[in-house]
């Protein structure tokens, strides 16, 4: 147990370091990291759902194209159109090629592609670095606090049929961790260390933390149906890339929508 925890911490620190560095540089560096993550995610998704190799390659091409259009061409609207069109055509093709794969193909492309386009778009905003850092840090804070609070306190299970190890105490700790991170972000985001900043970031932190927990539970349900413990083995102590980014998937999409509607990212 101690060895697994040590691996988890070391891998987590390395991932956070790489993510923040790529986020700081932005541009090609951040888009490249997002592209790499999303392509590995879809590969894991395809393996879990036993998609044929032809569909895997088609999905990777669609996702790579969507990230490229969003990042290099700077047009997230066209990236979403490409992603949606690719998901629709891929689903129809998959349904004809092998019964039962159409739905998995469509959901997989949207599950992996929407957060990628959302993050690339958000990073391109005037306050994109701080906004993306806030989104990622809230997920990290919720995940870390939920893990250690759940281990320390235990208690009633959150969703025993889906994920037996998750507890209500861990969920409460995750929300508290997200709020703490939002408070820290107020101090590092220029112009947000005031009441206006608190009224923006703190109310966002709670629903985003809940979305992060729900994303984690959704991933657990996928693995349970697929009969696997982890989505992959790439990350020591964490499993696969999907295992590490499951909470970020819904949070990235929801956050991009909030920032787009409010203009808080510039």
In a domain, 148, yes or no: yes
Chain centre distance of CA 165: 21
> Which pLDDT belongs to residue 243?
85
176 and 117 within one domain: no
266 and 161 within one domain: yes
167 and 145 within one domain: yes
Please list the pLDDT of the chain residue by residue as tens digits (266 residues).
566 667 777 877 888 899 999 999 988 899 899 999 999 999 999 988 888 888 888 888 888 888 887 877 666 666 666 666 666 666 665 565 565 677 888 888 889 988 998 999 999 899 999 999 999 999 999 999 998 898 889 788 888 888 888 889 989 999 999 999 999 998 889 888 888 888 889 999 999 999 999 999 999 898 888 888 777 777 776 678 888 898 999 999 999 999 989 988 87
In a domain, 11, yes or no: no
> Which pLDDT belongs to residue 237?
66
> Which pLDDT belongs to residue 78?
63
Of the residues 65, 96, 123, the one at which a domain ends:
123
- Please name which of 131, 144, 143 lies closest in space to residue 188, comparing C-alpha atoms: 131
Q: How far apart are CA 186 and CA 230, in angstroms?
A: 35
In a domain, 18, yes or no: no
Q: Do residues 45 and 94 lie in contact, with contact meaning Cβ atoms separated by under 8 Å?
A: no
Query: Dihedral of the CA atoms 31, 261, 243, 223 (nearest 10)?
Result: -130
> Which pLDDT belongs to residue 98?
61
End-to-end CA distance of the chain: 45
Of the residues 123, 150, 167, the one at which a domain ends:
123
> Which pLDDT belongs to residue 251?
95
> Which pLDDT belongs to residue 229?
79
Radius of gyration of the chain from Cα atoms?
Answer: 18
Q: Around Cβ 193, how many Cβ atoms within 10 Å?
A: 14
> Which pLDDT belongs to residue 206?
94
Three-class SS string for 181-207?
HHHHHHHHCCCCCCHHHHHHHHHHHHH
User: How many CA atoms within 13 Å lie on the side-chain side of 29?
Assistant: 10
> Which pLDDT belongs to residue 179?
94
- For residue 215, give its domain range: 126-266
> Which pLDDT belongs to residue 99?
58
- Number of structural domains the chain divides into: 2
Of the residues 123, 145, 177, the one at which a domain ends:
123
230 and 155 within one domain: yes
90 and 195 within one domain: no
Distances (CA, A) of 201 to 115, 125, 135, 185: 20, 17, 10, 8
């Amino acid at each position: 147990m101690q060895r697994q925890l040590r691996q988890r911490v070391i891998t987590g620190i390395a991932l956070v370091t790489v993510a923040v560095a790529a986020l700081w540089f932005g541009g090609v560096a951040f888009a490249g990291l997002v592209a790499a993550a999303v392509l590995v995610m879809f590969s894991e998704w395809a393996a879990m759902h036993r998609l044929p190799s032809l569909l895997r390659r088609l999905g990777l091409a669609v996702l790579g194209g969507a990230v490229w259009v969003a990042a290099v061409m700077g047009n997230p609207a066209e990236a979403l159109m490409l992603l949606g069109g690719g998901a629709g055509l891929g689903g129809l093709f998959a349904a004809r090629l092998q019964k039962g794969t159409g739905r998995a193909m469509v959901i997989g492309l949207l599950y992996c592609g929407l957060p990628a386009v959302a993050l690339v778009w958000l990073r391109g905003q005037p306050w994109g670095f701080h906004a993306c850092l806030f989104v990622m840090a809230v997920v990290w804070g919720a995940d870390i606090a939920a893990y250690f609070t759940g281990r320390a306190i235990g208690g009633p299970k959150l969703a025993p049929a889906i994920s037996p190890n998750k507890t209500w105490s861990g969920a409460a700790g995750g929300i508290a961790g997200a709020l703490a991170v939002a408070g820290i972000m107020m101090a590092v985001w220029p112009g947000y260390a005031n009441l206006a900043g608190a009224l923006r970031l703190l109310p966002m932190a709670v629903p985003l933390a809940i979305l992060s927990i729900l994303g984690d539970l959704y991933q657990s349900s996928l693995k349970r149906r697929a009969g696997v413990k982890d989505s992959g083995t790439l990350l020591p102590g964490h499993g696969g890339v999907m295992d590490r980014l499951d909470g970020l998937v819904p949070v990235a999409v929801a956050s991009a929508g909030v920032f787009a509607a409010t203009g808080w990212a510039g």
